[in-house]
Amino acid sequence: MGKRQRGPTHQARTHPGWIAAAALMAVSALVWAVRVGRDPNTSRPPTTALPAAAPAPDISGMTPRERANAVFDRIMAAAERGDSAQIEFFRPMALGAYALLDSPDSDTRYDVGMIHLITGDVEGARAQLDSLKQFAPNHLLGTMLQSTLAQVEQDESGMRQAYRDFLDHYEAEIATAGTGYADHRPAIDAFLDVARRELGRND
């Protein structure tokens, strides 16, 4: 989640393979920050040393929300490993699970946006972000999705704006009940550390 220099992006934005690779790197970096206790100096193990993916989870006895969460977690775990094959395998299962949920909330919109983004569907991710911002303009998950999207597009000013928005609204948002933050709290805490470090703020 570090800084990137903004440069020409038109070609990158129109090349699905590049977008998917950039999204995978961006999401993988955030997941890895959570796993290692948010230490930016921790070295990531090589992909070749990682174990093979575990079998697909048994979702037959789960509620629709639990099914969606379980498959989302598998996709994020695959992102940490850099396993694009597993991501593609679980993508339709995940999107199908989320499509069955009634009245999508901010948490749902964030999850679906991240799934789209990590598979290179920037427009799908942007649509979820726009919907989330309309639903809850100051929601922390929306700001996190906005930042990851900006990173994929090498938009440094967009990333810094997302960091500022996150810090400006963090205290009020995190104190609000029913905002769907519990399932993503480790990622939120990791993003908080990144935003403070990038902007040099301790609030």
Per-residue pLDDT of the chain (203 residues; tens, 9 = 90+): 333 333 333 333 344 455 555 555 655 555 544 443 334 344 433 333 333 455 555 666 788 888 898 888 888 888 877 788 888 899 999 999 999 998 889 989 999 999 998 888 889 999 999 999 999 999 999 999 999 888 888 889 999 999 999 999 999 999 986 667 887 888 888 889 889 999 998 87
Give the model's pLDDT for residue 196.
Answer: 94
In this structure, what token pair is assigned to residue 43?
């070295």
Give the model's pLDDT for residue 48.
Answer: 33
- Helix (H, G, I), strand (E, B), or coil: what is residue 151? helix
As a whole number of Å, the CA-based R_g of the chain is 16
Q: Domain 15-37+61-199 maps to which CATH number in 3.40.50, 1.25.40, 3.90.1210, 1.10.287? A: 1.25.40
Q: What CA–CA distance (Å, rounded) separates 78 from 9?
A: 27
Give the model's pLDDT for residue 26.
Answer: 59
Give the model's pLDDT for residue 94.
Answer: 92
Domain ranges of the chain: 15-37+61-199
Q: What CA–CA distance (Å, rounded) separates 172 from 89?
A: 38
Q: What CA–CA distance (Å, rounded) separates 117 from 25?
A: 11
pLDDT tens digits for range 185-197: 888 888 898 899 9
Give the model's pLDDT for residue 129.
Answer: 95
Give the model's pLDDT for residue 41.
Answer: 44
Q: Let me know: does 171 contact 186? Beta carbons within 8 Å.
A: no
* pTM attached to this predicted model: 0.74
